Structure 1
Amino acid sequence: MVVIVFLVGGCTAIGPATIDRDRFDYVSAISESWKRQTLLNLLKTRYLDAPVFMDVASVINQYALESEIELGFAWNGGQTQSIGGRGMYTDRPTITYSPLMGEKFARSLVKPLPLAPILLLIQSEYPTDTILRICIQSINGIDNSRYRSVGGNNADPVFDKLVDLFRRVYAADGIAMRAKNTEAGVNLTIIFRPPTHATAEADLRQLKRLLAVDTHLNAFRVVHGKFALDANEIAVLSRSMLQIMTAFASGIETPPEDMAGLYMDEAWQRKGLDKTHSRPWIHVKNGASKPDAAFAAVHYRDYWFWIDDRDIHSKSMFNFLMILFSFTERGKQEAEAPVITVPTN
């Protein structure tokens, strides 16, 4: 007992030793729960159930180490001696959750994504065609596929051509983007650089004609909207995260014996959106038992749904979806309510 008390008493500084363990353990736990929450909300969207997000607002871990040693001796008419020791170690993790609701829900899921981060993604070498097909609803009145809770509308026949031309011109280093902060907001400009060869020149000419812009200009204002007011600007209407989630969820296959899923598929087919000609952005498997190895897996409506850990395309698209959530406006931390703080010890 004396040896243990002295050993415990010697470990007075326990804080630094916990950083390596706590930091990585909490990062792994939060990352895994974030993936599962995102997949669950995609399934809820697929089944017309309300998506619910719970943000981890803060993680606070408190440690306490106490030790005490008592020694006593007495020789007043008799022999008395006593020895005692006490040690106590306490770990008090406290996690604060912030539900996404009310005005915060509207800002994060219903409000269209800002254009500046979308252009930033293009400049960060993310696939241009993927970004335009996922994040953009229309460009100068040319509509992308429109997804609703049930059904939707197919894209304009020239939208795929527009996206392909934009990709080819950008790949030839023919497009630059500039953002300038002003008191009124961020002014965005798309600049078409002079083509370096005949193929790039033909692609740029087709792109300008398809956009119905002034072919003699090379710099155009980018505004948020469906239609441009003149030939000097390009109107881009971005999607909201709820629209993007609906688009992702539309390609999720439901179990063949799931009658609710069968009715959902029939409702999609009746509403005019032809999903048979488009590849699902993610492939979600389903089954009655929990998968052995999965990138993300959740149990929903008596079935297991998961993304295969070997499915590189689905994993890449799923990660891209999670990156898009960082572009949504969350508002000020102090204005959020309610906040749930849960001691986990």
Structure 2
Amino acid sequence: MKRSHSPQRFHQCQDVPHSRGRGVLRAACLLLAGVGAATSLSGCMLFYHGPENYRRDRLAYDRQLSTSQKQEMLLNIVQLRYGDAPTMLETMQIIASYSYQHQVGANISGTPWNGGGPQSFIGGNGSYMLQDNPTVTYQPMSGEGFANNVLQPIPPSVILPLMQSGAPIDILLALTADSLGGAANMRAVMASNKSLYTRSTSTRFAWLLKSLHELQTDDALGVRRVLGQPATKTTPAKPEHSYLVFTNTGVPEVTALQERVKELLHLPRGATEAEIVYGRKPDGKTQLPIVTRSMLSILMDVASTIEVPEVNVKEGLTTASVTPTTAGRRPVIVIRCSTSATAPDDAYVSVRYGNAWYWISKKDMHSKSAFALLQIISGLANSTTSQGAMVTIPTGG
């Protein structure tokens, strides 16, 4: 990318009659040549920004989308606690756009042609700036999509297979199950007078969660799925079925725990699996009835246990928090609050609402895991055909 200069211009730089003038003019020529080279180089450098933009912006937009989704989820939980309706925006498209500006200049001051003096000066300057002006398109979830994704119970066949992906079954069921084999989970309902009605977790439900988690840890529990088939001209459609499987480990203590779990779930002794169905009672077969929750119900239950400023309770802005003593267990997700003017330093995710900050501590691994699982469940509850945000990053020069 070198810029050539004609021999005639070079000789003009040498034929200055005054020696100081020749030296200064020679420096000026070299400066201008350098400026021209820098200008050409800056124009050439634009061709190398494509891969750099892709590497940088793909990860940057991914991180920002993740952060905004966590903040939206937490904000909706807090809003429900204060009687506000949740708002869900789907990021439909992100288009990154760039503008490049570069400026190079030079100046000569003094009188080098007449001998010059100590005030003779030759200088130059340059600047280069990259501006990013992305366009983001959002679409609020409403109508049929809102009803299907937020208000309808999530099918058990969608929830239970998450256990096979490593999701802790105790956290999974604590979030999504209203009852398991007839055993009731905690439930929070906002009454018309803005009071919070809470149904405590039954002792049987709490014991089942603990025992099922132990069996999962011992590889003595699993889920089997039988995929459905669409209807054809000759055969009707076959729905999908999911089964809770009790694996024989050969360990007497584990086998004894499996039998105790089956007894509390009203399953036949010695059963190796039970079909997972929606409902409170089986229909006579070897079935495990589960009443699942909607996303709105899940968020309401999480909202009932978050910390809130005492002054907000006294003023009637919200209700008192459900404590572990009332619920019979530790909150699935511990959300703290602070009336400080600044965001907490140890926050995994935080939002400002009213006069307080609400956050999940990054040192609380249990709450972080449950919150991440809540986001996955929310994605599975989304039954629309949305394919997620489309990110367009220009990679040309």
Query: Which residue of the partner structure matches residue 36 of structure 1?
Result: 71
Which residue is 1:302 aligned to? Answer: 355
From 158, 165, 170, the equivalent of 2:216 is 170
CA distance change for structure 1 residues 175 and 101 in 2, over 3 Å: closer, same or farther?
Answer: same
Per the alignment, do residues 171 and 26 of structure 1 end up closer, same or farther by CA in structure 2, a change over 3 Å counting? Answer: closer
Deviation at 1:248, TM superposition (A): 1.1
Amino acid at match of 2:228: T
Corresponding residue number in structure 2 for 1:47: 82
| Contact 1:46/1:246 (8 A) holds in 2 | yes
Q: 2:300 aligns with which of 230, 246, 268?
A: 246
Q: Which amino acid aligns with 2:64?
A: A
Q: Tell me, in whole angstroms, the C-alpha distance in 2 between the residues paired with 1:191 and 1:295.
A: 35
The corresponding residue for 1:275 is 326
- Displacement after TM superposition at 1:57 (Å): 1.5
Give CA-to-partner distance per residue, 1:230-263, whole Å, 9 cap, x none. Answer: 1411112222211111111111111122246756
Q: Equivalent residue of 1:138, what SS?
A: strand
Q: Supply the AA of the counterpart residue of 1:122.
A: M
Q: 1:226 to 1:199 in 2, by over 3 A?
A: same
The alpha-carbon deviation at position 173 of structure 1 amounts to 2.6
| Letter in structure 2 aligned against 1:288 | S
Amino acid at match of 2:293: R
1:143 pairs with 2:201: no
The change in CA–CA distance for 1:134 and 1:91 in structure 2 (over 3 A counts) is: closer
Distance 1:276 1:224 in 2: 24
Q: Deviations over 1:307-340 (max 9, x none)?
A: 3333333333322222222211241239x9xx9x
Q: What is the aligned length?
A: 314
What is the deviation of 1:268?
6.9
Matches within 5 A, 1:1-345: 2-3=36-37, 5-11=39-45, 13=47, 14-63=49-98, 91-149=132-190, 150-183=196-229, 184-259=238-313, 264-265=318-319, 275=326, 277-280=328-331, 281-293=333-345, 294-333=347-386
The CA deviation at 1:64 is 6.2
Deviations 1:173-220 (A, max 9, x none): 322321111123321122223351322222222222211122243232
Alpha-carbon separation, structure 1, partners of 2:205 and 2:40: 75
Letter in 2 for 1:25: A
State the shift of 1:172 in Å. 3.1
Taking structure 2 as the reference length, the TM-score comes to 0.70
The letter for the 2-side match of 1:57 is M
- Alpha-carbon distance, 1:30 to partner: 1.8
- What is the aligned-residue RMSD (CA, Å)? 3.1
Do 2:349 and 2:359's aligned partners in 1 also have CA atoms closer than 8 Å? yes
Q: CA contact under 8 A between 1:195 and 1:201: conserved in structure 2?
A: yes
Q: Taking structure 1 as the reference length, what is the TM-score of the superposition?
A: 0.80
Return the alpha-carbon distance in structure 1 between the equivalents of residues 169 and 216 of structure 2: 8
- In 1, distance between residues paired with 2:38 and 2:257? 78
Secondary structure (helix, strand or coil) at the match of 2:91 reads strand
Q: Which amino acid aligns with 1:215?
A: R
How far the C-alpha of 1:39 sits from its partner, in A, is 1.5
Bigger radius of gyration:
2
Judging changes above 3 Å, is the alpha-carbon distance between structure 1 residues 115 and 59 closer, same or farther for their aligned structure 2 residues? same
Structure 2 gap ranges (5+): 1-34, 103-127, 191-195, 230-237, 390-397
Q: What percentage of aligned pairs have identical amino acids?
A: 26
Identify which range, 297-306 or 5-14, moves more after superposition. Answer: 5-14
Render the CA deviation track for 1:60-95: whole Å, top value 9, x for unaligned.
12346799xxxxxxxxxxxxxxxxxxx997754221
Letter in structure 2 aligned against 1:264: T
1:91 and 1:161 map into 2 onto residues whose CA distance is: 55
Is contact 1:39-1:297 (8 Å) kept? yes
* Aligned counterparts of 2:365 and 2:273: Cα–Cα separation in 1: 38
